[in-house]
Chain A
């Protein structure tokens, strides 16, 4: 019998019941809740007169539409009445059902995908769900983690289980060592550029290879975060010493004997040598350059040294039309050099890139420099209150402020522009987030996905620039 993949192991360990039709009832160890996708789930529970199955499996925080300024006012500081109702509703629901919530004024509040790992609420081997597609982030810990819809949030609340079909196994192997100035974000953008936004559909992707093994946990989270942009609901990395060191000592992590038992189990969470994957893609990490997305889909990426594509050279008529449409929306010319794209705003934040290492990476680039006068705004939004505090302890806030970047309070912010932070029509933004769909960061806004280092470099020059030139 062939060995098992990491995904096979996680799956097998969580099957409560195999149904005859091939679907299975899968036990969920942890559910993360936020204000946007949970109200209707709680409403559903109440309507059906049901109670949560296991309260301690849930952890909640408001993140999607909390303001990133003036936080001292708490909920009162949320100007938009609808946003305020959502945040209030989450609070009421958690209080009513006894679910632990890091409220808006709690220093532990932040983007769900930042706080789970930060608290040790994300542990290797868990099944983790959240009503947000970037739940794949937690796969960096050797978890089976994916986004679910609101009905499923309700289903997990009520039963602690999900009905799932097993996915196929895919391995994305990034060999070799990354060059200087090339980050986890560039790796994942390059992967999506290669396999496309449907490349992982129906598969659970395991990221492996030397470049991934050498990444920090935060880098691995960045990669897994964007598995969904490659079409896969699940992204994963095998557990190793890096994983275990990161988890150790976190508030929700086990201690003493339980810790030793856990580590023993966690050490088994990797694909067997003879495991079979349905699909394998390999990339040479040493060839990956800093990436910039030029279009309206995350697969529309180019090397910073490259050019915007020419639709005339595309043979596939559907793709050609897609490129034409994207260039029109983005206000770009065919063949234009990526470094000629001028920017209006820079956003450093989101669940992809708002952890301490991301902020350090950006600060290293802007240190002692000034934000270009041609920019309307450049802002840094830390992923959680604790990331913010850590950055301030390291003096990163001073570096950003002195360079002319704004230093905000934690939340999703301009990643999806549900709060007051958004792009104006036609504005170009260098953004460390994960989606560049039309209107994602504001009606008519033009998003370019990049790494924190590349965003920081662009803030200095006012247009894209190869960050490696600034690092020397």
Chain B
């Protein structure tokens, strides 16, 4: 997995709460059996005026000029500023894959849906929860000043604005450790293979009905 230590990037403010996973990547694009290539269909229904279909050349489609990511000033954005309950809806990991494929590395919001929040870490994306009033402030600054960038330091757990103002955020130590080192979750777990085996052997004795049924 790609490691994440520090990131500085252009901020795109998406002023809408409860952005669900259907909005992030509509289901007609979920049929791929790969993990990449979802970027052109990120926010498809908001981003384009026509109905998106799989295997289409998205560069030829009519863009919705009102949608934030279509505004030239936000081209190349890698930090998504969002509202509360971002990523609600389904457990599909295609949502972080699409955000990642588009080029986002960080998402900042007052709150995230649980599953989505988890899925971000597993894919090298950093979701950051900041207080509503701080998010409001960042929205204001990002909208007012063109080219507004934020710096995110995962080591120090801070978000730093262009004026040097710094906001701390919380992140689970284990997730932070894995993200900082680009550690794959499975590898970390398999270090405990012996423990898993002994748990399993114990269970075979105390709850034998849980074993062997699916063959």
Contacts and interface: CB of A to CB of B under 8 A. Distances in A.
Contacts of A36: 30-31, 92
Given A27-B196, A55-B215, A439-B26, A86 B88 contact: no
Interface hub of A59, A83, A417, A440 (most chain B Cβ within 10 A) = A440
Contacts of B28: 418
A132 B91 contact: yes
A155 B186 contact: yes
Contacts of B85: 197-198, 201
A149 B31 contact: no
Contacts of A417: 27
Interface stretch (A253-261, A384-392, A400-408): A253-261
A37 to B, nearest CB: 7
Interface in B151-209: 172-174, 184-186, 189-190, 192-193, 195-196, 199-200, 203, 207-209
Nearest to A56: B214
A131 interface: yes
Interface stretch (A15-23, A68-76, A206-214, A358-366): A15-23
Interface string A301-328: 0000000000000000010001000000
Interface string A61-95: 00001000000000000001011011001000000
Contacts of B185: 151, 155, 163
Contacts of B30: 36, 418
Contacts, number: 181
Contacts of B189: 25, 155, 158-159, 161, 163
Contacts of B6: none
Interface residues of A, number: 82
A202 B195 contact: no
Chain B: interface size category: 35 or more
A22 B172 contact: yes
A133 B115 contact: yes
Contacts of A100: 214-215
Contacts of A262: 207, 209
A437 B92 contact: no
Given A16-B192, A55-B214, A89 B89 contact: no
B141 interface: no
A37 B113 contact: no
A80 B32 CA distance: 12
A337 interface: no
Given A149-B93, A159-B186, A318-B17, A86 B119 contact: no
Contacts of B122: 149, 151-152
B210 A23 contact: no
Given A56-B212, A56-B215, A158-B186, A37 B92 contact: yes
Contacts of B71: none
B31 A59 contact: no
A377 B7 CA distance: 52
Contacts of B26: 439
A141 to B, nearest CB: 13
Contacts of B211: 56
Contacts of B114: 201-202, 231, 233
Interface string A151-168: 110110011110101000
Contacts of A48: 184, 186
Given A163-B185, A233-B114, A123 B209 contact: yes
Nearest to B1: A151
A270 B211 CA distance: 23
B20 interface: yes
B90 A133 contact: yes
Nearest to A203: B114
A82 B192 contact: no
A155 B45 CA distance: 32
Contacts of A19: 174
A120 to B, nearest CB: 8
Interface in A1-49: 16-17, 19-23, 25, 27, 29-30, 36-37, 39-40, 43, 48
Given A56-B213, A165-B172, A437-B20, A131 B34 contact: no
B66 interface: no
A279 interface: no
A238 interface: no
B8 interface: no
Given A86-B33, A159-B186, A261-B209, A197 B18 contact: yes
A82 B31 contact: yes
A50 B35 CA distance: 18
A149 B174 contact: no
A410 interface: no
Given A148-B91, A418-B31, A438 B45 contact: yes
Contact of B196 (A147, A159, A439): A159
Contact of B31 (A57, A86, A131, A252): A86
B14 interface: no
Interface hub of A21, A132, A133, A151 (most chain B Cβ within 10 A) = A151
B64 interface: no
A292 interface: no
B5 interface: no
B192 A25 contact: yes
Given A22-B172, A39-B33, A43-B35, A151 B123 contact: yes
Interface in B35-55: 35, 45, 51, 54-55
A438 B46 CA distance: 11
A159 B196 CA distance: 8
B63 interface: no
Contacts of B3: none
Nearest to A318: B17
Given A20-B173, A198-B88, A258-B208, 11 more contacts: A16-B192, A58-B214, A100-B215, A120-B213, A121-B213, A132-B91, A158-B186, A160-B196, A231-B113, A252-B214, A437-B20
5 contacts: A57-B214, A85-B33, A152-B118, A254-B209, A265-B207
Which 5 A-B pairs give the minimum distances between C-beta atoms? A254-B209, A39-B33, A82-B31, A149-B93, A147-B91
Interface of B: 17-18, 20, 22-23, 26-28, 30-35, 45, 51, 54-55, 84-85, 88-93, 111, 113-115, 118-119, 122-123, 172-174, 184-186, 189-190, 192-193, 195-196, 199-200, 203, 207-215
